[in-house]
Structure 1
Amino acid sequence: MKKYIYGLLFLGLTSYIIPSENTETDPVKLEVKTQKMNTLGLIGGTSWHSTLDYYSTINQAVNDHFGNNTNPPLLVYTLNQAEVHRFQREDKWDSIAGMLIHAGKSLNKAGAESVMFCANTPHKVYKSVQDQLDFPVIHIADATSKAIHKKGLKKVCFIGTKYSMTEDFITGRIEDNGLEVLVPKEDKVINELHRIIIEELTYGEVKPESKKYVLSVINKMIAEGAEGVILGCTEFPLMIFEDDLNVSIFDTTKIHSQSGVDYILNE
């Protein structure tokens, strides 16, 4: 019995320490690339539907880059969207900033070297949050501006929540990058777009009549000279697609996600 046990132990040890004779030509080993990747933190939950798009888009892009199933060092912190919306209604943006700061610090403590907000509207408090963090927050407007310039466009339109359409924390930063941005002007239109986001899209619900309305708003601004449209709410890509319009669509979810990929891959 002892001889049998010692024999198995010896076999196990020799199997572990003796390398394969075909190490240099092993196809499994050859397909694995080695590359230092930065760790990115995603602050999501606003909504979880769009956060899922960020997560899947980043993972797929890194898989494609390596040509295998290499996954990125990605951390996710999910905010309570109901609480965020309550603070929005109560105009307590400092409280929202506090939530984002806490999330950012938690992700950094867990190993994230940079973070991004997985939505447009939280960028209203971007400066307040960035000032409290000693690592970078990747801004959605900077990435979007770069994508628009790449297309050679000068004038685009923007739709999003009422906060991002009536204030300039997104559109102003895009204009600072040398672009002209059209937004809806009528309160009735702004409020209806906001309602569609909050009451429908954040729940993953896409109503045909709501889609028709959103397209009519976009087409009106295209008639006013917009050469492309920025889907400035990360829920709108659930509803509006390339085939719906005859101009370029700038999906801020995909664009922002790609900037996260670039950061992870040191590009």
Structure 2
Amino acid sequence: MSWESSAEYYRLLNEEVRRRLGGHHCARSLMLTVDFAEIEAMQRAGEWEAAGRLLAGAAGTLQRGGAEMVLLCTNTMHRVAAEIEAAIEVPFLHIVDATAERIAAAGLTAVGLLGTRFTMETDFYRDRMRGHGIELLVPDGPGRTLVHDVIYQELTRNRVEEASRQAYRRIIGDLAARGAQGVILGCTEITLLVGPADSPVPVFDSTRIHVERAVDLALAGAPEPGGRRLSESGR
């Protein structure tokens, strides 16, 4: 939920549109940034319904602003995706579905998951992945604590530490040793720290996958005059 990963989304969206369309093209987009401090406090307090109402309101604002598709640029807060979808009439692109489709296309059925404690330890992510025929492995207790703490104490504060990169590499290696055929970077900030070069198994970067699927959908068919809008919500 940090501006650091919002900036990454914005960069990737525009790079991907230009890569596909060439020239001076960029993504026509609306971005609504919420205050991460407010969301983080709701997460710690378990106030998920309140967080859902806040993000649903943000998505509604984007729709009224002309958005034709909405993205929630965070894995953890997809826990309240249903509330957001119920609040808008335009399509909502779910990050777990986009990531699962990429994993399934690679022929994998068991992958490791790195994310916040809320993502790794609750069922919303695991259950949706199972709906695509994919089982998840998560780090052990100390590993989950380390992954979570690095996200909140470093990455969401614009700190990228080499010691944390090495620790993540060890955790990814442990997941692979336990049978993970790949690993999901299941927090949109993790892409700032590690990537394919840090893993012995294929890496599925949920941030990049989410962006690429959004561009697929936005550019599908003949472009309308003036182009289509992409929308980011909740960041």
The two structures have a TM-score, normalised by structure 1, of 0.79
Report if aligned partners of 1:72, 1:264 keep a CA contact under 8 Å in 2: no
> 2:179 maps to what in 1?
225
Aligned to 2:200: 246
Are 2:127 and 1:172 equivalent residues in the alignment? Answer: yes
- Cα deviation for residue 174 of structure 1 reads 1.3
What is the match of residue 75 of structure 2? Answer: 120
Q: 1:234 aligns with which of 188, 197, 220?
A: 188
1:263 aligned onto 2:191: no
- What number of residue pairs does the alignment pair up? 221
Task: Select the structure of larger CA radius of gyration.
Answer: 1
Question: Residue 96 of structure 1: SS of its match in structure 2?
Answer: helix
1:70 alignment counterpart:
25
Deviation at 1:136, TM superposition (A): 2.0
SS of alignment partner, residue 78 of structure 1: coil
In the alignment, the residues of structure 1 paired with residue 172 and residue 157 of structure 2 have an alpha-carbon distance, to the nearest angstrom, of 22
Matched, 1:130 2:85: yes
Q: Does 1:183 align with 2:153?
A: no
Larger RCO (CA within 8 A; separation ≥ 6): 2
Cα distance in 2, alignment partners of residues 229 and 189 from structure 1: 14
Which letter maps to 1:158? L
**Contact 1:229–1:250 at 8 Å: present in 2 too?**
yes
1:195 matches 2:149 = yes
Identity %: 35
Offset at residue 179 of structure 1 (A)? 1.2
Q: In the TM superposition, what is the alpha-carbon distance from 1:132 to its structure 2 partner?
A: 2.3
The match for 1:24 is: none
Counterpart of 1:153 in structure 2 is 108
4+ runs of 1 displaced by more than 6 Å?
Answer: none
Q: Structure 1: 5+ residue runs without aligned partners?
A: 1-45
- Give distance in 2, aligned partners of 1:64 and 1:207: 31
The residue that corresponds to 2:52 in the other structure is 97
Aligned to 2:227: none
How is 1:27-46 mapped onto 2 (pairs within 5 angstroms)? 46=1
Q: Distance in 2 between matches of 1:262 and 1:137?
A: 14
The aligned runs of 1:78-89 (5 Å cut-off) are: 78-89=33-44
User: Is this contact kept in 2: 1:117–1:123, CA < 8 A?
Assistant: yes
The alignment's C-alpha RMSD in Å is: 1.3
Contact 2:74 2:188 in 1 (8 A): yes
Aligned-partner SS, 2:112: strand
Query: Shift of residue 260 of structure 1?
Result: 1.2
Q: Give the Å deviation of 1:237.
A: 1.0
Deviation by residue 1:70-128 (Cα, 9 ceiling, x = unmatched):
12221100010111101111111112111111110110011001201111011011112
Of 137, 140, 164 in structure 2, the residue corresponding to residue 210 of structure 1 is 164
Q: Contact (CA 8 Å) 1:242, 1:249: kept in 2 or not?
A: yes
Quote the residue 1:22 is aligned against. none
